[in-house]
Structure 1
Amino acid sequence: MSDRRLPPALATAVAERIRPERLEAAATRLSAGYRANLSSRQAVPDAAGVAAYAASRMPATYAAVTAVFDRLAAARPDFAPKTVLDLGAGPGTASWAAAALWPSVASVTMVEASADFRALAADLARSGLPALQTADIRQANIAQPYSLPAGPFDLTVVAYALTELDLSAAERLVADLVGRAGRVVIVEPGTPRDHGRLMAVRQATLAAGARILAPCPHAGLCPLPPDDWCHTSVRVERSRAHMRLKGGTVPFEDERYAYLVLESGAGSFAEDDNGGRILRPPRLSKHEIVFSLCRADGTLGEAKVASRDRSAFKAAGKLGWGDFLSDDQS
């Protein structure tokens, strides 16, 4: 598993530029705006809002994106992207995560509508790896695929950006992206609303010929009932500045997110055709571990690992919410 904390160079660069005592009002507006599903242009309207975002949201975004990149690396262990396209890049969080995980990354292109975010992304990138220092940071409207860089790109990331588009625009964008060479990673808030939108995008991309690498172990309709939604969680360490801006009393938070990892080509999940994705935190007792699964045949089910099978029980104990459970582990 990759380190899901901000790289030291990035954490230092953010800390040097942020004064939490001046940003509390902006951070409050930011949190309220996102809870109300406002666009970034509304929730982060100025440089103070962008600074508050970097201090309060960047660590969680980085952790969630890195966790999803780990899913891609598990599905395609030989994947070594050289070119990265980061759409709705904000301060460049996903670009930093890609460069940290894959040393092969040599070229980064960030697309961001906000001039304040682009300025911060360029400023922070000067503290990063060579691919970040030389990144192409440009303005474009991600709702208009024809205006985006042509590439080709080995990896395209859309992190916490589809949520701001009309659903039809989101479907068109991702269908266009998977029509190009390479892999596409989408990360969204882990809410019922965004799960529903992501499932609509999923269907559009399947119709466009996409292969789902994660989280879905099948290419059928989502089997979850209307009152449930597919998401997972990653724990994020909080700095003192982070805690202050978030009004937190504990040195961590749990970031809940939903995601898709896609590539061109018909077919379904890549890790194990007979396994399933763990849908929620496992239930542990002295006698067994019980996993709730979305299975490769498109159904929901459970897998139980008895404590009397010591080796299997020990291995199962290392698995958690969002992990993949193969049949030989259950």
Structure 2
Amino acid sequence: MDEKDLSMLDVEMTESFISTTVISDLTNPAEFVRGSPEAEFGRKRIGCVHLPKPLAKGILDLIEAQHDKRLIRVDALRLYEAMRSTARIPEPLEQDPTKKPKKTPNQEVLEPHNVSYGPREALAYTAGVLPASYAAIFNVLEEVNSRLGDFKPKTMLDFGTGPGTAIWAAQEVFDIDKYVGVDLSEDMLRVAENLEECTKKPDSSPIEFKRYLAFDPTISKPDLVVSAFALGDIASTALQKSTIEQLWEQAGDVLILIERGTPIGFSAIARARQWILDAEKEKEKDVHVVAPCPHDRPCPLLFSPEAKPSKTWCHFSQRVERPAFLMKTKHSKFNTEDAKYSYVVLRRGKRPSTKNAESPFERAAFSWPRLIQPPLKNKGHVVMDLCVQNGEIQRTSIPKSQGKIPYRDARKSMWGDLFPHPSKTKMVTRVSEGVVGPEEVQRKHKKAI
């Protein structure tokens, strides 16, 4: 064979090798692992929430029926002002009665006040507040649906329903046979009934709207009870506690409480959570926290000696697309906003263990720590503040050296997610375990109420 024949043979062997290798790679591709299924199960984010088209159209029809649409914005601004005035925890007066409230730049100090919901306020709430409330409720319901595989509610009670926000969100998540919405405002209920007419389908489940919460022992308790953005309108702490006790008594299985993601909203949720846990403990009955806490101990961000609920509080965020009517109400050019909220999900029965959980992930997720703040993603490591199983707030670092999958899960983690991997480095306690006792409760009551 001459030099030409050898070169041709070399080309044919090279092409044959490449062809065989490519075909082999296509038929037997190497498995490429991106992240762990545990981290995917514990992920809280669901992307941007959109209002259902029938609901958005129903709200738009209500707005178009108004003669002077400018009043909707005027009334919405009053609602926003009232919400801002009740966002912060008031400082104890006994420290310095002459001390004036802190004033942020370009913002006047507002006296805390609430708004009574008449016909104008009910419409302004629907046009200016409902989308953000809907997004927060939808996120929580989606989390409950994904975390509790055996929870298939057939009846629902929505306390403080307003224009029916939680009911419209539940219709997108669960297959419920009967809804009951309770609200003191007749004008709010009238708006809810109008929206029901706009969104009703031939196979829609019946919805009953009423003004008062009545307990009938002859009727089975609703599987799901929701109170969203209603506790903040109850000024008295004693009345809040009485309301929470009634709601828990009504709940046949799961109770969901949601408030605005402000210091005062978080404090209301944390106290309500503790009231229920303490009451059931005294009755020697089982109850556990499904979310967001991985424990049933007192909340460290409110009941720990070093807690500062006016500076650091447990809350989360959900992005929502602003419909055209909301952009006009707010005079905004941006079509998205972030809804901040605090919440707790409580369920009757013992906390799931290795013997009574539906799936391994569902069982393990009850002990996974949760990110209470956005993680700090630095080069080569990720720093996270976590609420952990022993009832403390701890800081951990997930370095690249811990492994490809844990590090990738840490890089992809977001505020509110459950993190399934143990820490390679030493955990640093930032807030110790909460303690609830007579003296502690009295001290915290003065500080947080």
TM-score, length basis structure 1: 0.88
1:288/1:28 CA distance change after superposition, 3 Å: same
**Residue number in structure 2 paired with 1:304:** 397
Give 1:130 deviation, angstroms: 5.9
DSSP 3-state at the match of 1:23: helix
For the 8 Å contact 1:188–1:194, the answer to whether it is kept is: yes
**Corresponding residue of 1:101:** 173
In 1, Cα distance between the equivalents of 2:292 and 2:256? 11
Within-5 A mapping of 1:1-330: 1=46, 4-19=49-64, 20-37=69-86, 43-102=115-174, 104-126=175-197, 127-129=199-201, 134-140=206-212, 146=215, 151-165=220-234, 166-179=236-249, 180-209=251-280, 210-224=287-301, 225-226=307-308, 227-267=311-351, 272-307=365-400, 309-327=403-421
Structure 2: unaligned runs, 5 residues or longer:
1-45, 88-112, 281-286, 302-306, 354-362, 425-449
Secondary structure at the residue paired with 1:261?
strand
Listed one character per residue, the Cα deviations across residues 260-303 of structure 1 (whole Å, up to 9, x for unaligned) are 10112354896534421110111112322222100011111123
Q: 1 or 2, which has the higher strand percentage?
A: 1
Residue aligned with 1:18, SS: helix
1:94 is displaced (CA, Å) by 0.2
Cα distance in 2 between the residues matched to 1:73 and 1:139: 28
Q: Is the 8 A contact 1:96 1:128 kept in 2?
A: no
Q: 1:326 to 1:33 in 2, by over 3 A?
A: same
State the SS of the aligned residue for 2:365. Answer: coil
**What is the TM-score of this pair, normalised by structure 2?**
0.66
Instruction: Give the corresponding residue for 2:8.
Output: none
> Which secondary structure state, in structure 2, belongs to the residue aligned with residue 325 of structure 1?
coil
- RMSD between aligned alpha carbons? 2.7
Alpha-carbon contact 2:83-2:114 (below 8 Å) kept = no
Is the CA contact 2:127–2:325 (under 8 Å) kept in the aligned structure 1?
yes
Shift of 1:99: 1.1
Structure 1 or 2, whichever has the larger Rg, is: 2
In 2, Cα distance between equivalents of 1:35 and 1:55: 18
Seen in structure 2, the aligned counterparts of structure 1 residues 247 and 271 have a Cα distance that, compared at 3 Å, is farther
Moved more, 78-87 or 168-177: 168-177
Which protein, 1 or 2, shows the higher relative CO under an 8 Å CA cutoff with sep ≥ 6?
2
Matched-pair identity in %: 29
- Corresponding letter in the other structure for 2:57: T
Uncovered stretches (5+) of structure 1, i.e. residues with no partner = none
Number of residue-to-residue matches in the alignment: 324
Change (3 A) 1:172 1:328: same
Change (3 A) 1:77 1:120: same
Contact 1:14–1:54 (8 Å) recurs in 2: yes
The 10-residue stretch of structure 1 (104-113 or 178-187) with the greater mean CA deviation from structure 2: 178-187
